[in-house]
Amino acid sequence: MTYDVVVLIEREMSEGDARRVAALHAKREEPVEYHLLVSSHPERGFGGPMALLGSSFADVAGLTGSASVVGSATGPSARISPPAAPPGPGRTPTAVLADPAVDLASVIEHSSRQLRAASGYPVHVSITHGEVLLALMQMVKATGCQEVVVVAWPETAAAFLCSDWITKARKLLKVPRVRLLEHDT
């Protein structure tokens, strides 16, 4: 039996991101399978660093099929770039991560390679062009995962913590564990 983990990202995972995700499961006795869910910035309710706040749980629970499904296509989307913070004292600029709105193939290739190298476990990739929370719900159900890890920008993570998003997500997704990690910047 495997321990299935869905990892939701909105930008390419850095090596540090992948190491931190893998470290969460390093001591598991059973093999781990990662299911990487990549958003390609759909046109409504999602986009950029605040992307995961685009939908309320009430909206998601009340939708009846009008939203896009994992792997389906919607029209063009607005592109919002991550915040460009200048390096502080003693900090060096970090590598630029690929943006799915510009180079989705690089996001998929680099992120899955980083996570596979850091963990030593298989990484399956899915793309959502539509409503991220619906895609996440569908992936959790399809994989029977036991855990969801969201890798988000610092502003998104802070907003999630303030709104008790993690508790709401755990209840809605019906998984024992939901974790939130900030992108390694």
Tens of pLDDT, residues 149-158? 999 877 777 7
Tens of pLDDT, residues 64-75? 333 333 333 222
The CATH number that applies at residue 158 is 3.40.50.620
Q: Which residue has the higher pLDDT, 97 or 131?
A: 131
Number of domains in the chain: 1
14 domain residue, yes or no? yes
pTM for the model = 0.71
64 domain residue, yes or no? no
73 domain residue, yes or no? no
What is the domain extent for residue 131?
A: 3-58+97-182
Residue 63: the pLDDT is 34
DSSP the chain: --EEEEEEESSPPPHHHHHHHHHHTTT-SS-EEEEEEEE---SSS--STTGGGSS-HHHHHH--S-S--BT---------PPP-PPP-TT--PPPPPPPHHHHHHHHHHHHHHHHHHHH-S-EEEEEESS-HHHHHHHHHHHHT-SEEEEEE-HHHHHHHHHTTHHHHHHHHHT-SEEEEEE---
63 domain residue, yes or no? no
71 domain residue, yes or no? no
72 domain residue, yes or no? no
Using pLDDT thresholds of 50, 70 and 90, give the confidence band for residue 166: confident
